[in-house]
Each structure stands twice: as structure tokens, then as C-alpha cells.
Chain A
Amino acid sequence: MSQLPLRAQLASALGRTAATLSRATGRGDGSVIGGRVGLALEPDLLRQLAQDRKLALVSATNGKTTTTRLITSALQDLGDVATNAFGANMPAGHVSALSSAKDAPYGVLEVDEKYLPEVVDTTGAGVIVLMNLSRDQMDRAAEIWLLAQKWRRALAGRNVHVIANADDPLVTWGASTAARVTWVSAGQPWKEDSWCCPECGGPLDRKGLDYVPPGGHVSGVPGQSTQAENDWACRECSFRRPAPSWILDGEAAIDPQGRRWTLDIQLPGRANRANAVIALATAEAFGLPVERALPRLREVRSVAGRYTTVERDGRQARLLLAKNPAGWLEAFDVLDPALPVILSVNAQGPDGRDTSWLWDVDYRVLRGRPVYVTGERRLDLALRLDVADVPFQLMGSFGQALAAQPPGKVDVIANYTAFQQIRSEFGRAV
């Protein structure tokens, strides 16, 4: 790794300097700006930095930052791991991550779904981790059937080992051209984007489960699903769920030998248990057995501010990030039903400027608890809750919403820039 050609070494060093400056001037964590400078000088830099390392790429609509962190923690049992821990998940961020850990023999990179084909090609990564695909930031044309089609083309005929969620039909379709796939039953609470077969367009049947219209719950408890409900098959062609070798079963992972491991991780919620099973399957692909990987997953408490608690004047607010309808569904699963909840929604560039997605979220689960609404697009959310018959109070800012609470705990769900605003005002402890 230290044998980079001179031009690449120079580009990489300059990139690191820019990143340091960016951090020093307080303009960010430095991971993107460093990579941009590096890439401008040496377009082939990423390819060279990736050479001779054992790399895993992690992509999905939701959970990629957390899963990247979990896999990284596990692989640190084997040696140093380069990773883009701050979610800078495009090639510039990858350059930055790899050049700041030049001698690490392992790398775990979170990859934006749209960039996956390009990054697979550039890095030649041996392990690709694919978890879920659902509607997200529609104003930027995230057409997910098209995206899955591009994954198929990128993986076909390549010597890669894919770890993929068999319960998500679109992910299964996107992954199934790969030469080798380890299928994981990681669940799929959000089903609105996969009632139709990606192969032929016919209806997908799910065992023991009739079609549930958008906004309806799939089972009595949202976010909980049984193995039977995770099964699916096309009514009109041969496309169906592959048999999984790893299974998330409630609080436990079942490994390919049928052994049951109680996960007992600190990160809350069903989605994180799903991320953990995926991480265990990925660790095994690197030769790391469950008994060594799982204790490391249990050490992870918060990821880039997600699930951390910020405090002011005796109010402790736990921060949950939810960027799209599937993410909100998973966040509701984490909420403490005994606590009030503050919801904050923005529509800046990174959030998507269109708030239509609010109508895909079923907010009725919030009835019966105090709900406070804030954020730059609070009126969009206010109307949405009014139509859902969820009582709420409108607040001018997150600070006001927090001050309106009695001392004690409160849960917060915010979308991307709203979340970042709260973190920068109330503390960035990771």
C-alpha cells in the first residue's frame, strides 16, 4: 500500500492536508473535501488505494452507515481497517478513507446505492453487502427498479462474494447475477416497494400475508415479522426468495450451522438486529467466526450521532435519524411508547426538496402520546398529522420543543439536515 506511484502519493498527501484544514476551520469532518482534492489530481487514485486490500462495500437505502460501522468493528479483530466512518459514501469519501489508513490490510466502505456499480468496478472489492432498497429522495430520480438493474449488470460475471438480504425482493433481484451469494433473512418491514415482481412485473405473493395497502400494518406489531411473512414468490414466473443461510429470528441470529446466537447488542431496534446479522455473515466471509465477531458488535453504542442522547436543562433527548418512509417505520419500532416524541423535518438538498414522502409514513402509531412538530417543513408535517388524526403541538424550533418538555427523557426523530442541525446546536458527541 505504501508503494503508490509518486503522483498518487502526492495527490493522497494533498488530500489529507485539505481534510486537516477543513477540520481545523470547522467546515466539516474533512472526509469529503480531502477526497475531492485527491481525486482531482489522480483519477485512478481510488483504484490504487484499493489494491492489495481485502475490501467490503456496503450499500442499501437504509442502515449502511451503521452496518459499515458494525462490520468495521468486527474486522478489527483481524487487523487494521480503513473505513469512511462519517458517511461520506461517494468515491471522494472512499479515497479519503483509504488514504488516511494507508497500511490497513482491510477496508469497509459505505457506498451510495447509485455509485455502487462504479465503485465495484474501480476498487475490485471482493465482498459486497446489500441490505435493502426502498423509495428515497425522489426528487433526485432514485428509481429503484432501475438501480437494482444496474446492480445486476455490475455484479454479473465478477469474482465477488455478495452478502444480501433475501427478504427484500428487489435486493435479491439486484444481487442474483453474482457468482456467489450468501443469503441472509434480515426481514423487510417496509413492503410498499415490492408488491410486484422485479423480473416480470407480476404480483408477488407472501405466505400467510394478503396484500396490505400502503399505510396498513403488515402484522399486529409493526416491525415484527415472522419467518413465514418473510417468504415471497412471484405468482407468474419462477422468481422467488432464495433459501437463507443466516436468519434473524427475533432477538437472535441463526447461523448456517443452525446455531442460535442471542444478539444482545446495544444499538436499539429491529433494524439494528438486522444490520448485526448481516455484519456477522460478512465477518464470516472474511473468516471471522461468530464467537469473535459478536462481542465486537456489542461494543458499538452509537454511530455518527445516531441513538446518542443530547441534554439541556434536565431534558435528555435521544436522537433517531429517519430519512425516508422505510426509515421512519424502523424508527417507530425504537421509540419508547411511554415518552413524548419530537419530530423534525427539513427539505434541504440532502433531504430531498419534495416532502411528498411524508404521506407514505403511517403516523397513526403515534396516537396517544404527546407529539411535538418542528423543523423547516413543520407545516407539511402538521397537515399530515392532522389528516391522520394524530394530535400534536407545533413548535418554532427544536430548542422550544425541548424546553416544552417536563424534565426527563424524550425521543426525537429527525430527517437528515434536521438531525445535523440538532447535533451541531446540542453537541456532536459520537
Chain B
Amino acid sequence: MPSDSVLRLVWIYPDLLSTYGDQGNVLVLEQRARRRGIPVETVHVRSADPVPESGDIYLIGGGEDRPQILAAERLRRDGGLHRAVARGAAMLAVCAGYQIMGSTFGGEEGQPVDGIGLLDIASGRGGARAVGELVAETDPALGVPTLTGFENHMGVTRLGPGVRPLSRTVVGTGNGDGTEGCYAGKVVGTYLHGPALARNPGLADLLLTWATGAQLPPADDTWFTRLREERLAAVLPRQ
């Protein structure tokens, strides 16, 4: 992000993929940037419109099978997101949006559908829907505290050598092999659906740090912390 300008958030296809409160990730990033004096500009890209290449952080959310397939087709045809990531933009891809980033994912009847190939992962359809609270220990290299959130998906995701697991699950299903989500460069994918950043402000700050290239001053985390503590205590077995 050029030091003289604003932080540009790009929310991809809210008209197709924003079914689960995905707006929360946009709002949390906006708030945490503004409260540190970083001006923010957010662009909502409707699926009929081109994806701008000049954003700093891209967000894509979750949705039903049909919108997911439509979104994958349009992103592939558009190419704007590929150019942005090649340029070094950061991205958070959530749930259906996460699956789209891979080489393939499961469609309405479980049939393989082509993804957009921005992450070295391949997803398919699992046997049972994974619904519930998820807790996972983050890759220590990222310096992000324990992940907490809610998952709701039927996907099983295999990680290739080009990505690293974002975390290891303690409670919940995640990718289906004991890991949850993945990252490569500045692109993060996760099954924590909807407003994942609301429960994980550390992950929000990681994206902001990547995008600004600067160390962030501490923020007032009162309500974030209280919610995290309550959720982790409710989900984790008593010590």
C-alpha cells in the first residue's frame, strides 16, 4: 500500500457469496484500520462487474452451491483477481470462496467443478455436513492466536505442496485431515465461515500488516477479547 494513500478493501461478489454474515470481515478490517488512523476505502464488486486489480486486501465469502459455481466461472473469465494476487495483494477466502481458490471443488451433485487455481488445494464433497464450533491452533510462523469460529460445509480439502496449513484443528472438522484452512504468500483460505475475523482479530491484523507492510499499533480489543474468551470456554473441554 503506498504510504500516501488509503487502504483499499475489495469485497468480491457480495451478490453471490455473502450468505453468512460475510460482511463482518469487511467491517472488522475497516474498523481495525480506522481506529489506528489508516484511512480505508471499500469497493463492493458485483458479479456482473470487473474485479479491480489495484486493491490491497481482497475478501470473498460463502454461499450456496449454484452461486459458488457462478462465482468461479466469472472470476476465471474476469482474471482481475489473478492479476491482483500476482501483484502481491492480500486475500481472505472463506468457506465456498476458499474452495473456489483451488483447482477443483464439489458441485451441486458432488460433481467436480473447476476452481480458479489461486491456491494449491483440491476440494470435494465429504460424507456428512460439518456444522458447529471450530477451534484450531494456528501455524506458529504466523503469530496469530488460536482460531475460533463456526463452520458449516460439506467440503473436504486436500492441501498440495504449494500451501501450508493455516492451523491444526482442536475441535471441529476444517479441511478434514486434522488441519484447517491454508495459506500461501499473502493468500489465506479458511472454512471458518462468515465473519471469521470478528472472532479472530489477530488474523485481521495479519492481513492489515501484510497489506500495509507496517507494524500496527495495538487496538482496543475489549469486546473482541470478551467474545473470544467466552466462545473458547464454551467449546473447549474444561482443563
On A, residues with C-beta under 8 Å from B are 135, 138-139, 141, 143-146, 192-193, 195-196, 201-203, 211, 213-215, 235, 353-360, 379-380, 382-384, 386-388
Contact = CB atoms under 8 A, between A and B. Distances in A.
A139 B16 contact: no
Interface string B6-37: 00000100111011111110011001000000
B65 A356 contact: no
Contacts of B70: 196, 201
B14 A213 contact: yes
Nearest to A213: B44
B15 A380 contact: no
Interface stretch (B85-93, B118-126, B172-180, B224-232): B224-232
Contact of B152 (A138, A360, A382): A138
Contacts of B79: none
A202 B230 CA distance: 42
Contacts, number: 103
Interface of B: 11, 14-16, 18-24, 27-28, 31, 44, 46-48, 64-67, 70, 129, 131-132, 150, 152, 193-195, 198, 222-224, 226-227, 230
13 contacts: A139-B152, A144-B64, A145-B66, A146-B66, A203-B15, A213-B14, A235-B48, A359-B22, A359-B194, A359-B198, A379-B223, A380-B227, A383-B227
Contact of A387 (B28, B44, B46, B226): B28
Nearest to A140: B131
A309 to B, nearest CB: 31
B223 A360 contact: no
B66 A382 contact: no
Contacts of A139: 131, 150, 152
B66 A201 contact: yes
Given A138-B19, A146-B65, 17 more contacts: A141-B152, A201-B67, A203-B46, A211-B46, A214-B14, A353-B131, A355-B150, A356-B20, A359-B22, A359-B194, A360-B23, A379-B230, A382-B223, A382-B226, A383-B227, A384-B198, A388-B27
Nearest to B192: A356
